[in-house]
C-alpha cells in the first residue's frame, strides 16, 4: 500500500513494474479486503523498492491489526 501517488510512482520506476488496476481505498476497505482473503495476510505501507534499504520508512500491518481495522 502506498500513502500517495508520488511514492507509488517512485517505487514503480525502480522496480520497473507497470501493473494495471490501481485502486484508491480507505484503510478500512484495504483491511477488509485483506481479512476476506481467507488466509493470514499482512500489508506493507510504503515498501522500499530496494531490498535491504528504506525499511525505516516501511510500516508492517500484521493480520491481527488488519482484523481490528476491518472491525472483525
pLDDT in tens, 32-44: 999 998 888 888 8
pLDDT in tens, 13-72: 888 877 777 888 998 999 999 999 888 888 888 888 887 777 777 888 899 999 999 997
The values of phi and psi at residue 43, to 5°, are -130, 135
Which spans in 1-72 are helix H?
5-15, 27-35, 63-70
| Domain edges within the chain | 5-70
Q: How far is residue 7's CA from residue 5's CA, in Å, rounded to a whole number?
A: 5
Amino acid at each position: 500500500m502506498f500513502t500517495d501517488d508520488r511514492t507509488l510512482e517512485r517505487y514503480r520506476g525502480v522496480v520497473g513494474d507497470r501493473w494495471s488496476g490501481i485502486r484508491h481505498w480507505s484503510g478500512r476497505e484495504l483491511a477488509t479486503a485483506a481479512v476476506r482473503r481467507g488466509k493470514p495476510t499482512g500489508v506493507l505501507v510504503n515498501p522500499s523498492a530496494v531490498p535491504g534499504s528504506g525499511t525505516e520508512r516501511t510500516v508492517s500491518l500484521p493480520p491481527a491489526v488488519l482484523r481490528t481495522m476491518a472491525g472483525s
